[in-house]
Amino acid sequence: GNAGRCENSEIMGVARIKPCSCGSYEDQEQCQIWCYTCERRPCVPGSKEKCEPGTACVTKNRPDIGVCKKP
């Protein structure tokens, strides 16, 4: 399938973030910028909205927004 393909999109007002369709972490690593899957949502470091157990809010390029992913 096409799992992991990046598409141009705007998420939470941040342009140029490229979400992936649902896929493996290997699929995500192939994306050039951030890669969100259906299971991993954008997060704000230190906010009350915690990531799922076993994942952490990882930032990249911007300190005010990140993505929940396994460390």
The predicted pLDDT at position 70 comes to: 76
What whole-number distance in Å separates Cα of residue 59 and Cα of residue 68?
A: 9
Q: What is the pLDDT of residue 65?
A: 78
pTM (2 d.p.): 0.39
Residue 4 scores a pLDDT above 50: no
Q: What is the pLDDT of residue 40?
A: 52
26, 15 contact by CB (below 8 A): no
Tens of pLDDT, residues 13-66: 444 444 454 444 444 444 444 444 444 567 778 776 677 788 888 887 777 778
